[in-house]
Structure 1
């Protein structure tokens, strides 16, 4: 990920035939899900980073939602992070992200719905405003995370996918990477005594090469999010 974040006055980079392109943002948790999927599956691609605080006019014209992430190849455009991950898994062979059986895929979808509506919403609301959670909100967040801990206990595996990370793991990971760095729990990490299996899962995820390649430290997240609403957000601070 070395492309500078493009803003007003920039030109749309020329599209190459049969080249998969991700429009993203280096610190965006939803875009990170796509990066993880691409890297796990070993899919060749290029990245165009967008300044999401001050977007290029061509980006808004091309993609009416104005949101990242977006995948584009030839005349095909796909957006929404989970849909993009499933699309990549269906189109590109090799490493499979989704579970093998219809029943397990259904169970994963139920867990994804819980995560996206309860956990990710709390974390990402904090990401957008950087307002701390009050004690009631924190308690509700931890109660929702309890359900993920219990699910890992039932699955008896290091990852939600089994012995290797899959769709559920890569959708969950960016939010858990940010819990500490964004001070979602007032500077506290996920309590290891309450969540021993999730703590082990996080350790296992950090050993996955695809995760290592996109991983940012707690300090890097904290610095970026605290400056997000300033006159000069640090979009390009970590780029070459």
Structure 2
């Protein structure tokens, strides 16, 4: 996993050398979508290199590889694939180890529908996380916090219906990794939105799922601390996004 915590390349930089025999991930260290791909690679023990790129000052050579200008993107030889759900499906099909997507097509469909329903919680999450605090009234903060929590309740209901510790069943599967990255960020939110706490009385199963996920080796290997998320948020709100908070400590 060479390069995970290295500095982010910017506009005007030269693309670093790429090993054509090895999978390369174009990544941004604080992007939850890119985190999906990294988690799957770590879980499946796939050797890979990481090239971190600035999303506010995108390198020209990165835009040549992904015209959408988004992460994640993966490259193997001259093959380039982007979009998080597409990259993880490709990795799960091509590389050995435990298959993370369900073999049953119906269960796979159920998991993907759950992921889509979960994404309804993201608009209020982003409004709270990256909205200028001076422009958000206490009433708006409470309203958006409640909206996010209400939309997250679909996950509590899913765990109750499935009667399993993970969304994927008795063991962690693709659906769990596709949802997890935002919970690292949600856990940081009470620092600036105290209403965003997951009450164990309401979210008992989801809180237990979080505790299990925090013990997963892939999650632990790539985890960003609450302090680093808050520092990244502060720099972004100030208009000078610092992508290299972790790299600068190396």
Which of 153, 167, 172 aligns to 1:146? It is 153
Q: Which moved more, 1:60-69 or 1:206-215?
A: 60-69
For structure 1, list consecutive stretches of 5 or more residues without a partner in the other structure.
none
Q: Following the alignment from structure 1 to structure 2, what is the Cα–Cα distance between the partners of residues 54 and 238?
A: 18
In the TM superposition, residue 192 of structure 1 has moved relative to its aligned partner by: 1.5
Deviations 1:153-211 (A, max 9, x none): 11111111112211111111111110131449813432221100000000000000100
SS of residue in 2 equivalent to 1:48:
strand
Partner of 2:69: 66
Asked if 1:226 corresponds to 2:234, the answer is yes
Partner of 2:86: 83
Q: Following the alignment from structure 2 to structure 1, what is the Cα–Cα distance between the partners of residues 148 and 221?
A: 28
Partner of 1:19: 22
Partner of 1:214: 222
Partner of 2:143: 136
Trace 1:91-170 onto structure 2 (pairs within 5 A).
91-116=94-119, 118-129=120-131, 134-170=141-177
In the TM superposition, residue 9 of structure 1 has moved relative to its aligned partner by: 2.4
Q: Sort the Cα spacing of 1:230 and 1:135 in 2 relative to 1 into closer, same or farther, 3 A.
A: closer
Q: Following the alignment from structure 2 to structure 1, what is the Cα–Cα distance between the partners of residues 126 and 178?
A: 13
In the TM superposition, residue 34 of structure 1 has moved relative to its aligned partner by: 0.8
Q: How many residues align?
A: 239
State whether residues 21 and 46 of structure 1, in contact with CA within 8 Å, keep that contact through their aligned partners in structure 2: yes
State whether residues 20 and 45 of structure 1, in contact with CA within 8 Å, keep that contact through their aligned partners in structure 2: yes
Which of 224, 245, 250 aligns to 1:237? It is 245
Q: Following the alignment from structure 2 to structure 1, what is the Cα–Cα distance between the partners of residues 183 and 245?
A: 22
Partner of 1:29: 32
State whether residues 24 and 50 of structure 1, in contact with CA within 8 Å, keep that contact through their aligned partners in structure 2: yes
State whether residues 23 and 47 of structure 1, in contact with CA within 8 Å, keep that contact through their aligned partners in structure 2: yes
Which of 52, 56, 59 aligns to 1:56? It is 59
Deviations 1:44-73 (A, max 9, x none): 100000011111122123321111111111
State whether residues 98 and 167 of structure 1, in contact with CA within 8 Å, keep that contact through their aligned partners in structure 2: yes
Q: Following the alignment from structure 2 to structure 1, what is the Cα–Cα distance between the partners of residues 165 and 155?
A: 13
SS of residue in 1 equivalent to 2:187:
helix
The TM-score, its normalising length taken from structure 2, stands at 0.88
The TM-score, its normalising length taken from structure 1, stands at 0.92
State whether residues 138 and 185 of structure 1, in contact with CA within 8 Å, keep that contact through their aligned partners in structure 2: no
Q: Following the alignment from structure 1 to structure 2, what is the Cα–Cα distance between the partners of residues 184 and 136?
A: 17
Asked if 1:189 corresponds to 2:189, the answer is no
SS of residue in 1 equivalent to 2:221:
helix
Q: Following the alignment from structure 1 to structure 2, what is the Cα–Cα distance between the partners of residues 138 and 237?
A: 27
CA RMSD of aligned residues (A): 1.9
